[in-house]
Amino acid sequence: MSFDGYKTVIEEGDTVILYLTVSQVYSVQAEAKTLSKKGVEVDNVFQTPYGALKCSDLIGKQYGSKITLSKGWGYVLQPTPELWTITLPHRTQIIYTPDISMIVLQLELAPGSIVIESGTGSGSLSHALIRAIKPHGHLYTFDFHENRVKLVEEEFNCHNLGAFVTVTQRDVCSNGFGSDLDNKADSVFLDLPHPWLAIPHAVNSIKEDGGRICSFSPCIEQVQKSCEALSRLGFQEIQTMEVLQTSYSVQTKRLPVLNLDFVKTEKDGNETKGKERDVVKSVMAVPPSTQPGHTGYLTFATLPPVWARKLQISLNQAQESGNDLN
């Protein structure tokens, strides 16, 4: 499938991005038949604002080509994690591209990295993580909801990404990530209501030579408790940020030019008023009239190597003993 690499021609079973306008982007399956709500096999027809699309007609067409609909036209594009994020079926609140890009950067992901994710949700972040770590890395993703785990696993297999990800149903706050992942992960990502309960298990899973952790939380109270847990467990470089994207509109505007010689003294002592003389065109960036006030907080931290952790614990204990004596 095309999620695992770029292709030229659409093949049967591919996930294809149908682009109509900036705000009308859809994901469709290039399959001739599909099952109706009653479980009956019917022709796979996708309805759009510009007419119906027979998905079987996509097979054999080149990616990037223009297709004609009964009331207009569109383009068929290669699926990418960014396009999948804006077209995927929502089962939970998802993480969007501005936050995803910061997560991939701050976790220092590279091909070959071993990453733990919890929870999986709708798989928006998961696709971006897999792209960053394949072909030699692996993603271990956890979710406590059985149906979500089943659906997202089917999507990974459909997108030909199953070899790079292991999906597990588990309450990681209570049960951790499993002993088979002890000292195996380069990075851990948490998107949980109570991330501070999972942080001790993350310590067990991160490699002995250290690693990075990220926690996504919508509330500042969650951030406070998470930071307390990170500090107590020996994490360093703890920082919290919020990624707010601002889109500026570049416009050409007409600006009046004032006559700078407008201050003149008449014989009667009165000053003449300034007059607009010319008009010039200027290109400027206009900020949006409204902007989202809050998305979510990203908390990042580094777990140092084992020897440094032991040294820090010894220093903390010595400091606590000194405070007790005082």
pLDDT tier at 283, thresholds 50, 70, 90: confident
Checking if the pLDDT of 128 tops 70, the result is: yes
Q: Is 191 annotated as a binding residue?
A: yes
* Predicted pLDDT at 38: 80
Beta carbons of 210 and 304 less than 8 angstroms apart: yes
Residue range 82-108: mean pLDDT, rounded: 95
Q: Is 83 annotated as a binding residue?
A: no
Rounded Cα–Cα distance for residues 115 and 205 (Å): 10
Convert the pLDDT of each residue in 52-84 to its tens digit: 999 999 999 999 999 999 889 999 999 999 999
Q: Given this chain, do its domains 15-79 and 86-244+293-325 carry the same CATH topology?
A: no
> In this predicted structure, which of 68-77, 102-111, 219-228, 265-274 has the lowest mean pLDDT?
265-274
Rounded Cα–Cα distance for residues 229 and 183 (Å): 19
* Predicted pLDDT at 208: 95
Spans of all domains in the chain: 15-79, 86-244+293-325
pLDDT tier at 20, thresholds 50, 70, 90: very high
Neighbours of 323 (CB within 10 A): 8
pLDDT tier at 326, thresholds 50, 70, 90: low
* Predicted pLDDT at 41: 84
* Predicted pLDDT at 2: 67
Identify the helix (H) or strand (E) that includes residue 149: helix 146-158
Residue range 144-151: mean pLDDT, rounded: 95
> In this predicted structure, which of 20-24, 32-36, 289-293 has the lowest mean pLDDT?
289-293
Phi-psi region of 246 (alpha: psi -120 to 50; beta: other; left: phi over 0): beta
Residue range 146-175: mean pLDDT, rounded: 95
Beta carbons of 131 and 110 less than 8 angstroms apart: no
Q: Is 124 annotated as a binding residue?
A: yes
CA distances to 232, 300, 314 from 307, rounded to whole Å, are 17, 21, 11
CA distances to 103, 126, 130, 136, 257 from 133, rounded to whole Å, are 13, 11, 5, 7, 56
What percentage of the chain carries pLDDT values higher than 70? Answer: 91
Q: Is 192 annotated as a binding residue?
A: no
As given in the structure block, the two tokens for residue 203 are 């310590």
Neighbours of 164 (CB within 10 A): 19
* Predicted pLDDT at 262: 56
Checking if the pLDDT of 263 tops 70, the result is: no
Q: Is 122 annotated as a binding residue?
A: yes
Identify the helix (H) or strand (E) that includes residue 110: none
Q: What are phi and psi of 297, to 5 degrees?
A: -95, 135
The arrangement of secondary structure in 86-244+293-325, i.e. its CATH architecture, is 3-Layer(aba) Sandwich (3.40)
Rg (CA), the chain: 28
Convert the pLDDT of each residue in 38-48 to its tens digit: 888 888 999 99
Q: Which amino acid appears at position 308 of this protein? A: A
Token pair 């969007």: residue: 96
CA distances to 83, 116, 158, 270 from 198, rounded to whole Å, are 31, 12, 30, 78
Listed ranges 44-48, 106-110, 230-234; the one with the highest mean pLDDT: 106-110
* Predicted pLDDT at 285: 85
Residue range 142-150: mean pLDDT, rounded: 95
Checking if the pLDDT of 4 tops 90, the result is: no
Instruction: Look at strands 211-217 and 187-190 and give their pairing.
Output: parallel
**Which pTM does this prediction carry?**
0.84
**Distance from CA of residue 46 to its chain's centroid?**
27
Per the document, the length of the chain is 326
Q: Average pLDDT of the chain?
A: 89
Q: Domain 15-79 falls in which CATH fold?
A: Vcp-like ATPase; Chain A, domain 2 (3.10.330)
The SS3 of residue 288 is: coil
Q: Is 118 annotated as a binding residue?
A: no
Rounded Cα–Cα distance for residues 26 and 19 (Å): 7
Rounded Cα–Cα distance for residues 139 and 132 (Å): 10
* Predicted pLDDT at 317: 72
Residue range 250-276: mean pLDDT, rounded: 63
